[in-house]
Amino acid sequence: MGCFSSKSKSNLESTKPVEIQKSNIVAPLTEIQPSKPIERNPNKHKNPNTESLLIKEKSVQEAKTAEIITREKTTKEYEQISTSLSAHFLFNSLSSESIASVIEEIKLYNMGPKEIVFTQGSPGMNFYIISQGRCEVIVNSKTKKLMSKGEQFGELALLHDSPRTATVVTVEKTALWVLSREAFSSAIQSINNRKYEENKQFIANIPTFNNFSSSQKDILLSMIATHEFNDGQKIVTEGDPGNVLYFIKKGTVVCTKSGQEIRKLSPGDFFGEQALLYNTQRTATVTAIGKVTLLSLGRDDLTVALGSHLQQIIYRNSQRIAIEKSKVLKVLTKSQVEGIIDTMEIACYKAGQIVVGRGSQKSKKVYFVLKGTLRFGSKTQGLYTCIGDDDTQKNSSEAWEDNWIADVDSDIAILEKDDLEQVIGGHLGKIASQNEVLSVLRRVQLLRSLPIQKLENLVCALKIYEYKDGQIIFKEGDIGDAFYIVKEGQVEIFKGDVSIRIITRHDFFGDRSIIQNENRTATVVSRGKAVCWSLSKKDFLSMIDEGIRKQLTKRIELQNDQCQISDLIAVKLLGRGMFGNVLLTYNIQTKVYYALKTVQRNKITAFDIYDNLLLERKILLQVDHPLIIKLVKTFKDEFRVYFLMEFVQGIDLFDALRELGLLNNESARFYIACLMLIFEHLHERSIIYRDLKPENIMIDPEGYPKLIDFGTSKILKQRTFTMVGTPHYMAPEIIKGTGYTLAADIWSIGIMLYEFVCGCVPFGENEEETFKIYSNILERNLKYPNYMSSTRCKPIIEKLLDPNPVMRGTIESLKEHSWLNGVSWDALLGKQLKPPYVPKADNFTSTLQKAIRVNRSLADIVQHYEMEENFNDAGKSANKIPPSNWDDEF
């Protein structure tokens, strides 16, 4: 819902020429080059489809004169409709159950001759199949073709309400099978939600999967297949190879061994777990009693998705859980945890075997129970517990006074103390303390964008100070020369003689002083005994380079929550959006440029976008990343709400790519690695972006990409179904309407990478009709031009563009892909690498001086641009009442 940059899509001043700099990380290009420069498509992609986000009220109707018949469909009619649907790309991937549900929603419309089905330019609402009769297709008052029995039209309406491209009129008495978008969406969502919940129940009932991560369970969910068996049909046969796990959804099965019945299984039961894990032979025959529906997971599918060592995955998951449950080890970083898991040995013990012998030194090894139970006298340790972790941290010299014995068959992971210290880089107690501080530093808004290596260096530079009750740590007006974190106790903050707040364990204060040359704005006093970690300004500045210092200074400017709308003057219009305008503004107090997005209240009411604005604000406040646009604060008045945003000079990536031409391997890798960092930050917060494309990425004056425009973003709690995105970049699961997750963003990254090295998008590059673009995406006929600039990225392109969302991987796993080997993620985050391209920054001095001379109020200028728009929909809001206090947060 807006662009906050020095270049937008309309009403802009001309952009100055750009300067292309050769990157110091770009290797010489030795791969195939085009015989002549490739002309990228000069047209920017259309605005995203935002069906279900915006206009919620529809007064338009189609086929107004039709007689709607409500009756059961005959078998012949059902087959006719089914055959027609199966030939269409929107339906041919749906399950038979989904097709049946859709057909149930289809209605019969009877119309007379020369009656209008719909008119060109009107919003699409329904999909039609001609049952009897004929229809005429008219475009711009000219007949284009006639359609007869069995032909379909209007399918794009099932996805969103884009305008009809033609008028359709009946030629004679005509019967139409009609499916509305609402009915289609409801049917598909209902079926898929039910199947999703059934599959989740399947996974939840299998003990083997109890310790799988949520992402691993998502992979399992995508691999589940449904099977139906008739009475007496054998499902598995004793002695056959076993590689499939079955879960009973409906019906009953009987298990027999050597012809003798062993037991019967009913819905909710499962069989074949050992076969899934160990690929063993079937130990019994399983036969259907009556009609049976089963869900299944195949070992081969899981091998493709999770790797060839399923048992190792189960062990690693158990090790992670055990480490998380340990009070001592849970403070280790993710990389430290993975490192010690790699060094552990796993041993299997029979019931009664000694695991840890009497007299063994307690601090030499740590034991993790992955399966079974260990007994020490009358004491027992069960699943996911640790033995020896506390003693290892204390470096205890004591010995075990008795044996630890396996109560039952048990699997134990064993970690040597020396291996532990080698992996984590020192004694466990010291490293645990450093990690504790590191976790606090990562919460400090000023420091959270620093590379992890820089933060680790800061931890080493911290000093510990103890303060007595009532002792002054620093006074208001003192020179700011240090930053503090409370390790133990409390401190109190005073402004003059007034107490502002109490700071407790792991809170921090004095952070602005390490960058800004500011005197202290408050007095800090110890309450009781307090212990603080302290980082001096001198030590901090010695550890960061000038680039990071500039970056941090910029972040401080963007934390100016004292800014008032009266402090701003309008410099120029940056761009127009559907709901308001974006202006370049200048803070006359701090001398800083900002972008100000204005959204008119009458449009908010007309289009009912209250929730959308609140969500956009919530998302923008959550994100804080050097490669993502920053929200400073929001305002409101009687006529509008405002978003005060970071101003990003430069040009968008779409225009930059037209200057660069085809990207070589290293340049493409630079931009994709930046996108990985951006979407890692978003996806960690369960934020799905949904409209990634070059137009929504600015190249800033340092040559680094910055993601803008969060108007279509959403915080995911579960799968979502909303049809949102720009067609060429949309994932197939969005188009199908079967529900999608964060993996839809990963597909868009794949489209971007293909575009970088091939000069075009892979699906529907030359198509203008939206449904043809969607058809190309669902067909996924992925081909590469012979002139593509880099072939080394083909494997990751094909992974990113896998039609199965879970097979694309996560951002975390993709960062480990071989194509991204050698990327210095910390250096990239710190903007320490020279980019392939740097735009020249615009100079707004003369424009600013003119604005100051004219001295028009910001409100007048905002109103002037709104009047230019000639908004004709204001009447829509005349009888609408805004929700009470909806804008309290602004």
Distance CA 11, CA 121 (A): 26
Distance CA 562, CA 734 (A): 42
Q: Which two tokens stand for residue 182?
A: 């609402």
Between β-strands 374-376 and 404-406, what pairing exists: parallel, antiparallel or unpaired? antiparallel
CA-angle at 496, arms to 493 and 499, nearest 5°: 40
Distance CA 90, CA 98 (A): 12
Distance CA 732, CA 50 (A): 16
**Neighbour tally for 152: CB within 10 Å:** 16
Nearest to 703 by CA among 832, 815, 545, 845: 832
Annotated binding residue 597: yes
Round the CA-based radius of gyration of the chain to a whole number and report it: 32
Distances (CA, A) of 572 to 14, 559, 582, 804, 845: 13, 23, 9, 46, 12
Residue 826: its H or E element:
helix 825-829
Nearest to 558 by CA among 669, 445, 639: 445
Distance CA 210, CA 213 (A): 9
Exposed/middle/buried for residue 207 (C-beta within 10 Å: 0-12, 13-18, 19+): exposed
Query: What is the secondary structure of 576-601 as a DSSP string?
Result: E-SSEEEEEEEETTTTEEEEEEEEEH
Distances (CA, A) of 845 to 101, 140, 168, 593, 862: 63, 49, 56, 11, 21
DSSP 280: P
Distance CA 721, CA 775 (A): 19
**How far apart, in Å, do the first and last CA atoms of the chain sit?**
16
Express the helix, strand and coil content of the chain in percent, nearest 5 each. Answer: 35, 25, 40
Exposed/middle/buried for residue 127 (C-beta within 10 Å: 0-12, 13-18, 19+): buried
Nearest to 724 by CA among 716, 714, 712, 736: 712
SS (H, E, C) 338-368: HHHHHHCEEEEECCCCEEECCCCECCCEEEE
Q: What sign does the CA torsion over 803, 805, 810, 811 have?
A: positive
DSSP 459: H
Distance CA 234, CA 255 (A): 10
User: Could you list the active site residues?
Assistant: 691
Give the E-state strand segments of 482-522 in sequence order: 482-495, 498-503, 508-509
Check: CB of residue 251 under 8 Å from CB of residue 288. Answer: yes
Residue 254: its H or E element:
strand 244-257
3-state SS, residue 775: helix
Check: CB of residue 688 under 8 Å from CB of residue 733. Answer: no
Distance CA 412, CA 641 (A): 60
Distances (CA, A) of 523 to 304, 479, 483, 509, 510: 60, 12, 14, 11, 10
Q: Which residues are annotated as a binding site?
A: 597
Feature table: binding site for ATP:
597
